[in-house]
């Protein structure tokens, strides 16, 4: 990284990597303060939406030195998009973070159309955004993270063999929930912030009905201002997230949760901190 960016994101490396599916990703790796793998190896926490999330979440690695509530050592790997594609991260995430075959909620389409009418997005941008939701590839992205990216991180940063985590927010939260429901064995804990379960017909509900024992911890958060506000897509998302939580707890599934005093946009950092405190505290 440049000297300027390294000053903002201390102990952070950056590289780019092409997946077997032919997609290019930008990867930020933030190591704990004074990290020395020869002394003590740390596990990895993968954070999605790196182009947006790295600046909000990577600095929280300092919580590992907080004397009032210490967090277990971890290496943060933030995964986003590289090169020219970085400017299109908001639509490319639809392809990667949404499970294949996930239905598109009408409230979501209405929200995109409202953006066109308000002039905050062009028709071309809106159409490209929705097009990514017609061919979602969350399964391929999960394979990239677990089978392609992780072995490289493991090799280059000499990580711990276990104790890894995954955190995602919004559609990233949907992806985290999907990874947990599919029983991915890489992660010991998973944080799903305001998961983008936008449709009441989401495949998530069918997966819950077929759920077996899950070894990984799941922590779910959503925001009070989503459900109390007047934006239908956020109201619907929060209602569905609460239904997910209710169905899991009614089955006796061990899942933790927290309601945060945030909006959908401002909730990412608070949700990540909630995950750290709940799942990774000493």
Digit-coded pLDDT (tens) for 244-262: 999 999 999 989 999 999 9
pLDDT of residue 197: 95
- pLDDT of residue 2 exceeding 60: no
**What mean pLDDT comes out for the span 267-274?**
98
Confidence of residue 3 (pLDDT cuts 50, 70, 90): low
Q: Which residue has the higher pLDDT, 282 or 30?
A: 30
Phi and psi torsions of 5, nearest 5°: -70, -35
Do the Cβ atoms of 81 and 89 come closer than 8 Å? yes
Residue 111 lies in a domain: no
Rounded to two decimals, what is the model's pTM? 0.94
pLDDT of residue 118: 86
Percent of the chain's residues with pLDDT above 70:
98
Residue 128 lies in a domain: no
Q: What is the CATH number of the domain that holds 228?
A: 3.40.50.1820
- CA 196 to chain centroid, in Å, comes to 10
Of the given ranges (35-44, 104-113, 148-157, 239-248), which has the lowest mean pLDDT? 104-113
Confidence of residue 133 (pLDDT cuts 50, 70, 90): confident
Angle at 75 between CA 73 and CA 78, to 5 degrees: 140
**What mean pLDDT comes out for the span 34-46?**
93
Residue 168 lies in a domain: yes
pLDDT of residue 6: 59
Residue 107 lies in a domain: no
- pLDDT of residue 28 exceeding 80: yes
Pairing of strands 187-193, 164-169: parallel
Tell me how many domains the chain contains: 1
Confidence of residue 213 (pLDDT cuts 50, 70, 90): confident
pLDDT of residue 7: 63
Residue 112 lies in a domain: no
Kindly tell me the burial class for residue 172, based on how many C-beta atoms sit within 10 Å of its own C-beta (0-12, 13-18, 19 or more).
buried
Residue 120 lies in a domain: no
pLDDT of residue 172: 98
pLDDT of residue 149: 98
Confidence of residue 161 (pLDDT cuts 50, 70, 90): very high
Residue 106 lies in a domain: no
The mean predicted confidence, pLDDT, of the chain is 92
User: How would you classify residue 254: left for phi > 0, otherwise alpha for psi between -120 and 50, otherwise beta?
Assistant: beta
- pLDDT of residue 107 exceeding 90: no
- pLDDT of residue 1 exceeding 70: no
Confidence of residue 159 (pLDDT cuts 50, 70, 90): very high
Residue 177 lies in a domain: yes
Confidence of residue 5 (pLDDT cuts 50, 70, 90): low
What is the extent of the structural domain holding 239? 3-101+135-279
């Amino acid at each position: 990284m440049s000297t300027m960016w390294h000053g903002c994101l201390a102990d952070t490396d950056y590289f780019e990597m092409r997946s077997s599916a032919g997609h290019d990703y930008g990867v930020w790796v933030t190591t704990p303060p004074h990290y020395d793998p020869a002394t003590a190896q740390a596990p990895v926490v993968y954070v999605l939406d790196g182009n947006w999330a790295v600046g909000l979440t990577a600095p929280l690695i300092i919580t590992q030195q907080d004397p009032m509530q210490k967090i277990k050592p971890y290496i943060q790997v933030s995964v986003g998009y590289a090169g020219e594609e970085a400017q299109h991260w908001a639509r490319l995430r639809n392809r990667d973070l949404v499970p294949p075959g996930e239905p598109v909620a009408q409230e979501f389409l209405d929200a995109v159309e409202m953006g066109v009418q308000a002039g905050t997005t062009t028709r071309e941008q809106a159409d490209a955004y929705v097009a990514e939701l017609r061919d979602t590839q969350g399964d391929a992205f999960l394979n990239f993270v677990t089978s392609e990216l992780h072995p490289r991180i493991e090799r280059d940063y000499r990580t711990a063999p276990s104790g890894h985590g995954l955190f995602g927010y919004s559609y990233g939260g949907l992806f985290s929930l999907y990874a947990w429901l599919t029983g991915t064995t890489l992660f010991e804990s998973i944080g799903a912030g305001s998961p983008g379960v936008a449709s009441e017909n989401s495949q998530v509900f069918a997966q819950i009905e077929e759920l077996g024992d899950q070894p990984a911890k799941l922590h779910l958060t959503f925001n009070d201002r989503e459900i109390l506000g007047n934006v239908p897509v956020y109201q619907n998302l929060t209602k569905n997230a609460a239904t997910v939580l209710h169905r899991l707890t009614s089955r006796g599934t061990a899942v933790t949760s927290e309601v945060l005093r945030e909006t959908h946009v401002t909730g990412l950092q608070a949700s990540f901190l909630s995950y750290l405190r709940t799942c990774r505290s000493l």
